[in-house]
Chain A
Amino acid sequence: MTNPDHPYFAELRERLHGLGLPAAEVARTVDDLAAFTAESGSDPVREFGVPEEFAAQLARSGEGDPDPEPGSGPRAVPPEAAETWTWRADAFHEREVLNRYGDEGWEVERVDAVGRFVSRRDGDHPLRWEYRREIAAPRTRAAVAERLAPDGWEPCGTWFHFEYFKRPKAVMLGLEGEVDLPPEVPARRTFLSGRFHLFIASYIAFLVLLTVAWAFLALDGSPLAVLGGFLGGAAVGAGLLGLRMWRERAR
Chain B
Amino acid sequence: MSADRRASWLKGVLDLLVLAGLTAGESYGYEIAKTLARAGLGEIKGGTLYPVLNRLEAAGLVSAEFRVADRGPGRRYYHLTDAGRATLAEQGGLWLEFDESVRKMLTEGVER
Chain B positions within 8 Å of A178 at CB level: 51, 54
- Please provide the 10 A-B residue pairs with the shortest distance between their CB atoms, ordered closest to farther: A170-B50, A76-B42, A74-B3, A168-B50, A77-B48, A78-B7, A168-B46, A77-B11, A76-B44, A150-B30
Assuming the A-B contacts A107-B47, A174-B64, are A75 and B7 also in contact, with contact meaning beta carbons closer than 8 angstroms in the complex? Answer: yes
Report the minimum CB–CB distance from B10 to chain A (whole Å): 5
Interface size of A in residues (CB-CB distance below 8 Å): 29
Interface centre among B51, B58, B72 (most CB of A within 10 A): B51
A 139-158 binary contact with B (CB < 8 Å = 1; else 0): 00000000001111010000
* C-alpha gap A150/B42 in the complex (Å): 17
Interface size of B in residues (CB-CB distance below 8 Å): 31
Task: Please state if A171 and B76 are interface contacts (CB–CB under 8 Å).
Answer: yes
Q: Is B14 an interface residue (CB 8 A)?
A: yes
* C-alpha gap A101/B106 in the complex (Å): 47
Q: Is A127 an interface residue (CB 8 A)?
A: yes
Assuming the A-B contacts A171-B29, A172-B76, A178-B54, are A76 and B43 also in contact, with contact meaning beta carbons closer than 8 angstroms in the complex? Answer: yes
Q: Is A88 an interface residue (CB 8 A)?
A: no
Assuming the A-B contacts A66-B4, A77-B10, A174-B76, are A152 and B30 also in contact, with contact meaning beta carbons closer than 8 angstroms in the complex? Answer: yes
* C-alpha gap A122/B35 in the complex (Å): 26
Interface of B is mostly: helix
Interface residues, chain A, with chain B CB atoms under 8 Å away: 66, 72-79, 107, 122, 125, 127, 149-152, 154, 166-168, 170-175, 177-178
Task: Please state if A74 and B66 are interface contacts (CB–CB under 8 Å).
Answer: no
Chain B positions within 8 Å of A72 at CB level: 43
Task: Please state if B54 and A170 are interface contacts (CB–CB under 8 Å).
Answer: yes
Task: Please state if A127 and B51 are interface contacts (CB–CB under 8 Å).
Answer: yes
Query: Which chain B residue lies CB-closest to A167?
Result: B46
* C-alpha gap A75/B30 in the complex (Å): 16
Q: Is B74 an interface residue (CB 8 A)?
A: yes
Task: Please state if A170 and B53 are interface contacts (CB–CB under 8 Å).
Answer: yes
Task: Please state if A78 and B8 are interface contacts (CB–CB under 8 Å).
Answer: yes
* C-alpha gap A67/B47 in the complex (Å): 11
